[in-house]
Amino acid sequence: VQLVESGGGSVQVGGSLRLSCVASVDTIGRYCMGWFRQIPDKEREGVAGIESDGSTSYADSVKGRFTISRDNTGGMLYLQMNSLRPDDTGIYYCAKARPGYACSLQPAAFGSWGQGTQVTVS
């Protein structure tokens, strides 16, 4: 599975960004998908996940500010990020869950990853 993120960049505090991830139509609709982020010297952390049935989950730090969504017909995964803060800075990755794994925000549950896109908030 090939996943390709885009949409990262530099933004001021309080600003917004929309991240996109290109996958395949079969992948987006059938599997749990997630967004993760990582900063240097820290472990990768789950940000948001979306189940095959459309239910979503979020890290406490982003609830009310970030929204995960997908376009099944277009094979796209999105992360709308509003009210951005400096601690949102990091490399953001989209990922596909391993078959049979629960749709958690734990990196170990995901087996396919994109290359990442940098988000900088200052």
* pLDDT, tens only, 38-87: 998 899 999 999 998 899 999 999 999 999 999 988 889 999 999 999 99
Q: How confident is the model at residue 100 (pLDDT cuts 50, 70, 90)?
A: confident
Structural contact between residues 72 and 33, judged by C-beta atoms closer than 8 angstroms: no
In the prediction, which pLDDT does 24 show?
Answer: 72
Residue 23, phi then psi, degrees to nearest 5: -130, -150
Average pLDDT over residues 87-97: 96
| pLDDT over 90 (residue 15) | yes
In the numeric block, the tokens 């988000």 are attached to 119
In the prediction, which pLDDT does 25 show?
Answer: 64
Q: How confident is the model at residue 99 (pLDDT cuts 50, 70, 90)?
A: confident
| pLDDT over 70 (residue 6) | yes
